[in-house]
Amino acid sequence: MIYTELTKKAMKICFEAHKNQLDKSVMPYVFHPFHLAEQLEGEYEVCAALLHDVMEDTGASPDDLRKEGIPEAVVEALLLLTHDKSVPYLEYVAKIGEDPVARAVKLADLRHNSDLSRLDTVTEKDRNRVLKYKQAVEILGGEAEDDLVSRAASFAAKAHAGMKRKGNGLPYILHPFEAASIVGTMTDDCEVIAAAMLHDVVEDTPFTLSDIEARFGSRVAALVGAESENKREGIPPEQTWRVRKEEAIESLRSCGDAAAKMILLGDKLSNMRSFARDYKEQGDALWQHFNQKDPEMHGWYYRTIAELMPELRDADAWQEYDVLVRRVFGK
């Protein structure tokens, strides 16, 4: 759980809403939403976890929460989490899978509610309820993940609409699509593939990491953040190229997250494929399209990246990358 102005506000609302309630084991009910919040990391997810039963159990309305300053993205997640008893349970669960914040909270909720050690006496009804929860987890863990990549692709296409690639003028969206495809050869983790699809959104469009977190969850946002450079707005990009690349290299040097390295490799291999094609046609004139016009500097950067990913050397993507770096920049 993280402590921000928003999550502290949600804690207070949660405590006031549930302070006189008890759960099935006759423990203070407020322990449950606080336990869920402890399992989560994103600000919106923590906020939604704390408030996930407020509307269903206390009669508070969405407008009540909006008046308290709860963001619309959190309110939308809470509306999905609030079960209309006229809707079949598994249909309600499937709908939750469309929202990453609601999905993360519901999975934490299902895990906690499936822990029968919380109860003094376990009945057949309790065991049947856990079986139902397992079905819900399967729904949220399968179809929702597949949908995550599709939504990321759609969001990236809209975010990069009208943008062109340097060097060849092709639609920019082809690059994140290719990067995500490369990452998909190294992992089947849908959050990592989605982050690869979104890796340039924060760096190159008006959308922020908060926008990514609200739509795709905290882990995807963290992976996108790890791939995003500080562009130093207001300073010509050609003047900041070297320092930005040095920062990226230092970040990679200290990175222990294999998923983040896969995304970086997907990004850079896509670039190297483009360089190799375009260099064959344009020769050294290719580099005039970029902020850094010295091919030796590009070679330094791309060679260093290869050296700092020893754990990925056995991957086909790394081996192709190494071959292309040597072909374009020499040994």
Distance CA 214, CA 101 (A): 7
Distance CA 264, CA 258 (A): 10
Which residues pair with residue 171 across a beta bridge?
164
DSSP at 66: H
With tokens 């929702």, the residue in question is 144
Options 191, 204, 211, 247, the catalytic residue: 204
Residues 6+ apart with CB under 8 A from 238: 291, 292, 293
Residue 171, helix vs strand vs coil: strand
Cβ contact 95:76 at 8 Å = no
Q: How many CB atoms lie within 10 A of CB 189?
A: 16
Whether residue 204 lies in the annotated active site: yes
Give me the helix-helix angle, 43-51 and 31-39, nearest 10°.
160
Options 23, 64, 203, 320, the catalytic residue: 203
DSSP at 20: T
Residues 6+ apart with CB under 8 A from 226: 251, 255, 257, 260, 263
Residues that are catalytic: 203-204
